[in-house]
């Protein structure tokens, strides 16, 4: 029986930049759309049906002296290919990824970002298979979670391990590329769910308004979560300043790109808001704030230990989306230079509004594939 590797074990390799060799046996179109990526990850794609008669198609491509991790959609086909490689012999080690890309899409890897001034800490949960980033602020036995993913058990068990109570669940905007777990987790733990009111005009549930001037306090140490209205990706997009050190930008600003304004069909209407948020509102903030976005798009954005962050002042020097002086050129860039829209984004928005409640399996399906919330210059 071939040995297997869990998503947790693979995630550790990726975030620690260990040399990793993956044989992905999904169909080429699925592979081209979405694959495992990392700074030191090499991925070879050979569809499963090409290997049914033997491993000749990949024998010259795989380094037998290196551990090979075989991946498919759900872990079944890859198990069979892994066994074929084992039978061939000569490989140092062959491992099958348990649960395949389906499981990889749902794995969250917690990374500590730093300590807060009056005690407590800030953690980033990296969803390596989707590029989503969520956050937990903890102080004096209390926690707030920002941009919670659908897999809420992971946050619960993390909080339980640390002996802290989740009090606040905050979404920086109404998400269109993944299903928020904020409301579900708030109901489960008896916490408060916060959402920007301008993004909540069609929601079917009660929420607490996330608005500028309404600080959210976590713990007795008065860790201020200070909302800043920063529209552009959505009309309600709101950033958070935590502990005067960290700027959580949601989907407005990323490390290597900027937010796209078109997921509600309002690109032409919102491009001015996006420019104002990036070129005026953020410019008024301290350059020393550490930017923590809600997504990342490229493996090279993963820093030490797997975290994704950058100093605001540095981004004004090197992020191309922040260096377009001409407003017309900027408008053209964010309305024309756009990647495909996220998978099932309309259904995801409706789910996040509470208008539809798809079965768990359907929700997984809706989220399959990469995030596509950015505009790349």
- Number of folded domains that form the chain: 2
54 and 132 inside one domain: no
**Alpha carbons within 13 A on the beta-carbon side of 95:** 18
Cα separation, 178 vs 168, whole angstroms: 20
Helical (H) or strand (E) element with 189: helix 182-189
Residue 257 and residue 376 in contact, taking contact as beta carbons nearer than 8 Å: yes
Say if residue 115 is in the same domain as residue 230. yes
Predicted local distance difference test score (pLDDT) of residue 263: 61
Residue 362's pLDDT is 93
Q: Is 0.85 surpassed by the pTM of this model?
A: yes
pLDDT at 284: 94
Domain boundary among 81, 104, 127: 104
User: Would you say 228 and 283 are in contact if contact means Cβ atoms under 8 Å apart?
Assistant: no
Euclidean distance between the first and the last CA atom of the chain, given in angstroms as a whole number: 48
Q: Among residues 14, 22, 70, 72, which one is catalytic?
A: 72
Indicate if 119 and 60 belong to the same structural domain.
no
Regarding whether 223 and 165 lie in a shared domain, the answer is: yes
CA 234 to chain centre: 17
Angle at 115 between CA 109 and CA 119, to 5 degrees: 125
Domain of residue 23, CATH code? 3.40.250.10
What integer pLDDT is reported at residue 221 of this predicted model? 56
Is 72 in the active site? yes
The per-residue pLDDT for 266 is 66
Q: Do residues 370 and 325 both lie within one domain?
A: yes
pLDDT value for 269: 76
- Encode the chain (377 residues) as per-residue pLDDT tens digits: 679 999 999 999 998 889 999 999 999 999 998 899 988 899 999 999 999 888 899 988 998 889 999 999 999 999 999 999 998 888 889 999 999 999 999 999 999 999 999 889 999 999 998 889 999 999 999 999 999 999 999 999 999 999 999 999 999 999 988 999 999 999 999 999 999 999 999 999 999 999 988 889 998 655 577 788 887 778 899 999 999 999 999 999 999 999 887 666 666 778 888 899 999 999 999 999 999 999 988 778 888 788 999 999 999 999 999 999 999 999 888 888 677 777 788 899 999 999 999 999 999 888 887 777 777 65
Cα–Cα separations (whole angstroms), residue 11 to 8, 162, 269, 346, 358: 5, 21, 40, 30, 28
| CATH at 120 | 3.60.15.10
Same domain, 145 and 240: yes
Same domain, 220 and 154: yes
pLDDT at 261: 79
Domain that holds residue 257: 108-375
Residues 120 and 174 in one domain: yes
* Rounded (5°) CA angle 239-241-246: 110
pLDDT at 333: 86
Closest by Cα among 102, 107, 103 to 134: 107
Residues 222, 327 within the same domain: yes
Q: Among residues 104, 137, 163, which one ends one of the domains?
A: 104
Same domain, 181 and 83: no
Q: Are residues 10 and 121 in the same domain?
A: no
- Specify whether 143 is located in the same domain as 285: yes
Buried b vs exposed e over 251-275: b needs ≥16 C-beta within 10 Å? Answer: bbbbbbbbbbbbbbeebeebbebbb
Q: Are 200 and 171 in contact (CB under 8 A)?
A: no
Choose the final residue of a domain: 104, 130, 150.
104
């Amino acid at each position: 029986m071939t040995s297997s590797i869990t998503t947790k074990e693979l995630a550790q390799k990726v975030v620690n930049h260990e040399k990793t060799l993956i044989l992905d046996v999904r169909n080429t179109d699925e592979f081209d759309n979405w694959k495992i990526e990392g700074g030191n990850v090499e991925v070879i794609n050979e569809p499963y049906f090409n290997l049914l008669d033997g491993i000749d198609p990949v024998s010259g491509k795989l380094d037998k002296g290196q551990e090979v991790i075989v991946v498919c959609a759900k872990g079944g086909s890859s198990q069979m290919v892994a066994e074929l490689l084992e039978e061939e012999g000569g490989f140092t080690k062959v491992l099958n990824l348990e649960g395949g890309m389906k499981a990889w899409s749902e794995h969250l890897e917690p990374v500590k970002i730093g300590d807060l001034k009056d005690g407590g800490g800030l953690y980033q949960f990296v969803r390596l298979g989707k590029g989503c980033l969520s956050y937990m602020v903890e102080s004096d036995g209390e926690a707030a979670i920002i941009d919670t993913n659908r897999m809420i058990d992971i946050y619960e068990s993390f909080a339980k391990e640390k002996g802290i109570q989740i009090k606040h669940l905050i979404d920086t905007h109404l998400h269109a590329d993944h299903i928020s777990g904020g409301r579900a987790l708030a109901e489960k733990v008896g916490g408060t769910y916060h959402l920007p009111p301008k993004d909540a005009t069609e929601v079917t549930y009660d929420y607490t308004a996330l608005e500028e001037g309404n600080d959210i306090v976590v713990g007795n140490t008065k860790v201020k979560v200070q909302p800043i209205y920063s529209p552009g990706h959505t009309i309600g997009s709101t950033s958070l300043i935590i502990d005067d050190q960290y700027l959580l930008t949601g989907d407005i600003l990323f490390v290597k790109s900027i937010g796209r304004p078109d997921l509600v069909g309002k690109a032409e209407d919102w491009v001015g808001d996006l420019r104002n948020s990036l070129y005026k509102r953020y410019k008024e903030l301290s350059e020393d704030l550490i930017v923590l976005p809600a997504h990342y798009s490229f493996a090279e954005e993963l820093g030490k230990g797997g975290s994704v962050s950058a100093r605001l002042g540095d981004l004004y020097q090197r992020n191309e989306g922040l260096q377009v002086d001409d407003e017309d050129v900027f408008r053209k860039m964010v309305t024309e230079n756009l990647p495909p829209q996220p998978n099932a984004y309309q259904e995801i928005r409706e789910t996040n509004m509470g208008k539809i409640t798809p079965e768990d399996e359907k929700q997984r399906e809706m989220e399959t594939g990469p995030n596509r919330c950015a505009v790349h210059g």
